[in-house]
Chain A
Amino acid sequence: MKNLKNQIGIEKVETGIEGFDLISEGGLPKGRTTLIAGTSGSAKTVFAVQFLSEGIIKKDEPGVFVTFEEPPDDIRKNVISLGWDVAKWEQEGKWAFVDASPVIGENSVISGEYDLGALLARIEHAVNKINATRISMDSIGSIFSRFNDPGLVRNELFKIASVVKQMGATAIITAERTEEYGDIARFGIEEFVADNVIILRNVLESEKRRRTMEILKFRGTSHQKGEYPFTVIKNTGIIAIPLSGIELKQRSSTVRISSGNAELDRMCGGGFFRDSIILVSGATGCGKTMLSAEFAKDAIKNEQRAVIFAFEESREQLFRNAIGWGIDFEQMEADGILKVVCRYPEAEGLEDHLIIIKRVIKDFKPHRIVVDSLSALERVSTVKGFREFVIALTSFIKHQEVAGLLTSTTGDLMGGTSVTDAHISTITDTIILLRYVEMFGEMRRGITALKMRGSMHNKDIREFNIDDKGMHIGKSFTNVTGILSGHPVFTSTEEVDRMTSLFK
């Protein structure tokens, strides 16, 4: 019985492609052929090359690359920038090409029956020569245009897929699609490798390109469903961003850390939790950056490290402003306790921002992370893409078991919320609202702890001022109502007393 079970279960081969192994719950089905379908420019070839490269780099598994479209020399050159030295691997006997690219100037005449026996013999030969366990075939569409009989070609490819299976190698075949949402692939290719299908998409949405991958099916084994964003970056290749692949299993501690402001700590019932996500929301200029600077500065006291990702201000601007609040970022950086990363939101796609943020966090190992502001990133992405980014970012921060302070700029000066707030308010542990309050021809500022998960907190809306020593939280606006909705109404002291006595 146990034996039978072993025979039925389908093993998987870890591809080594970051994120993909999570989405696929362990990699590609071992000893099978998987179809990778995508429109032109959807990174099919990169996937095919990376499948072999990661095998060589991470597991010392040799691979055979069958190319139907680009000549091997083009591939060698194209993937150098992704950090893969194919020529070197060829010399070491870890990589072999089967060159099935079109011969230039060749115009063959067809006379009578034929098959693709030579191609099959060459693949077998290459696999045996280097003991390959991985095979990539890219891209299969072009072979159909070179032979006059699609049915025959399909049949021959089916034969190749079954021989590959017998050899015990894990293979991928890439195929062209004409539409992002439509038939799986042209020429009915999916029919012969229908066991496993992955779709790569490169969708143009609101003038922005968004790459996603979707595992359509893995016969006989499980995988995550739906589309997952991915990106292709220099020296790395494809990185997929699993969202539901991330489990909510992080521990939460009861250790408190200071917000950098003693009064705010008191309002939050003794400070923020060490591994929590704090959202600071407010209109432009009402003190979000200052609050995050104080939060970062507090790292010094506790011999911690902090990192600030600034998307709204340049380095010089940020440093100058901080000095105005009595904080010397330059010294902190020199001491190695702070790292400031300033980037234009438009400089990269959201996926790339996420990967950069993750890398900095992994390298610097900070105890406190500030993103100022998260809402600045909203404009470089689609709503869906942004939501995925926020989920991926916050869950990554939580996994590091550090505190993350994210700021969000609201559109309205007086009240209201931003898209950012809507996306992350349920993921955050703490929400601090900063609001302008118009009173008697004067703009004053109010602060309140709207939410403090797992702790008692002060529910008052308190007035605060900012001077050269930072933020000073004063008394509550006891006789003003409607601050959060953006319509403050002044109520006389007698009225407040009367209302309070009513509920006694």
Chain B
Amino acid sequence: MNKFQLRLYVTGKTPKSERAIANLKRICERDLSGLYELRIIDVLENPQLAEDEKILATPTLIKDLPPPLKRIIGDLSNSEKVLLGLDLSPILDSDGPKEDTQ
């Protein structure tokens, strides 16, 4: 399986930023353990990087690889949507059917 290349854009150390980072790390460790590269970019420190990528909202997660390129906006608290956005359908979830996990 190809490695996932992810970039997460946040603005400073706000609760929303912290939440997004924690949520993303949790999802990645659970579903993509060892298969991902994550870069966290603080747009307050690097506004030009946000300009280059035309980022408006934060937090924004960009999946560069594997294609297609995807953007996910928000603190990533809805892991189902995150997985959809990463083109990882929840069926791949090794924990079995959704009903059981909740």
Question: Looking across the interface, which residue of chain A has its beta carbon closest to that of B75?
Answer: A112
Given contacts A99-B54, A109-B81, are A121 and B74 in contact (CB under 8 A)? no
Residues on A with beta carbons closer than 8 Å to the beta carbon of B9: 118
Interface residues of A in 88-118 (CB under 8 A from B): 98-101, 103, 106-118
Residues on B with beta carbons closer than 8 Å to the beta carbon of A98: 51
Residues on B with beta carbons closer than 8 Å to the beta carbon of A109: 70-73, 81-82, 84-85
The number of inter-chain residue pairs (CB within 8 angstroms) is 105
Residues on B with beta carbons closer than 8 Å to the beta carbon of A126: 51
Tell me if A225 counts as interface (CB < 8 A to partner B).
no
A173 to chain B, nearest CB (A): 15
A129 to chain B, nearest CB (A): 9
Asked if B60 and A118 sit within 8 Å, CB to CB, the answer is yes
Asked if B51 and A99 sit within 8 Å, CB to CB, the answer is yes
Asked if A108 and B78 sit within 8 Å, CB to CB, the answer is no
Given contacts A110-B73, A111-B76, are A121 and B57 in contact (CB under 8 A)? no
Interface residues of A in 119-148 (CB under 8 A from B): 119-122, 124-126, 143, 146-147
Residues on B with beta carbons closer than 8 Å to the beta carbon of A121: 11, 43-44, 47, 50
Residues on A with beta carbons closer than 8 Å to the beta carbon of B65: none
Asked if A115 and B70 sit within 8 Å, CB to CB, the answer is no
Asked if A118 and B77 sit within 8 Å, CB to CB, the answer is no
- Interface size counted on chain A using CB atoms at 8 A: 28
| Contact pick for B56, options A107, A110, A111, A119, CB 8 Å | A119
A243 to chain B, nearest CB (A): 42
Tell me if B101 counts as interface (CB < 8 A to partner A).
no
Map CB proximity to A onto B1-36 as digits: 1 under 8 Å, 0 otherwise: 000000001011010100110010000000000000
| Bound Cα distance A99, B56 (Å) | 9
| Bound Cα distance A103, B60 (Å) | 14
Residues on A with beta carbons closer than 8 Å to the beta carbon of B38: none
B67 to chain A, nearest CB (A): 12
A160 to chain B, nearest CB (A): 11
Most central of A99, A108, A117, A119 by chain B CB within 10 Å:
A117
Residues on A with beta carbons closer than 8 Å to the beta carbon of B47: 121-122, 124-125
| Bound Cα distance A112, B18 (Å) | 13
Asked if A113 and B60 sit within 8 Å, CB to CB, the answer is no
B14 to chain A, nearest CB (A): 8
Given contacts A117-B11, A118-B58, are A110 and B16 in contact (CB under 8 A)? no
Residues on A with beta carbons closer than 8 Å to the beta carbon of B69: 106
| Bound Cα distance A492, B65 (Å) | 107
Asked if B51 and A112 sit within 8 Å, CB to CB, the answer is no
| Bound Cα distance A99, B72 (Å) | 19
Asked if A110 and B11 sit within 8 Å, CB to CB, the answer is no
| Bound Cα distance A124, B44 (Å) | 10
Tell me if B94 counts as interface (CB < 8 A to partner A).
no
Residues on A with beta carbons closer than 8 Å to the beta carbon of B51: 98-99, 122, 125-126
Residues on B with beta carbons closer than 8 Å to the beta carbon of A111: 72-79, 81-82, 85
Asked if A114 and B43 sit within 8 Å, CB to CB, the answer is no
Most central of B11, B56, B82, B84 by chain A CB within 10 Å:
B56
Interface residues of A in 325-354 (CB under 8 A from B): none
| Bound Cα distance A300, B11 (Å) | 74
| Bound Cα distance A114, B56 (Å) | 10
A314 to chain B, nearest CB (A): 55
Question: Looking across the interface, which residue of chain A has its beta carbon closest to that of B61?
Answer: A111
Given contacts A108-B71, A114-B59, are A122 and B77 in contact (CB under 8 A)? no
Residues on A with beta carbons closer than 8 Å to the beta carbon of B78: 111-112
| Bound Cα distance A146, B81 (Å) | 18
Interface residues of A in 360-383 (CB under 8 A from B): none
Given contacts A109-B70, A109-B73, A122-B43, are A114 and B84 in contact (CB under 8 A)? no
> Contacts A106-B71, A118-B57, A118-B60 given; 13 further ones with Cβ under 8 A?
A100-B56, A109-B71, A112-B23, A112-B74, A112-B77, A114-B16, A115-B57, A118-B56, A118-B58, A120-B11, A121-B43, A122-B50, A147-B57
Binding site for A on B (CB under 8 A): 9, 11-12, 14, 16, 19-20, 23, 43-44, 47-48, 50-51, 54-60, 69-79, 81-82, 84-85
Q: Can you spell out 25 A-B residue pairs with CB atoms less than 8 angstroms apart?
A: A98-B51, A100-B56, A108-B70, A109-B85, A110-B72, A110-B74, A111-B75, A111-B77, A111-B81, A111-B82, A112-B19, A113-B16, A116-B58, A117-B43, A118-B11, A118-B50, A118-B55, A118-B58, A119-B56, A119-B57, A121-B11, A121-B47, A122-B47, A122-B51, A122-B55
Ranked nearest first, the 8 interchain pairs of A and B with the lowest CB-CB distance are: A125-B47, A117-B11, A112-B74, A112-B77, A109-B85, A112-B75, A111-B81, A108-B71
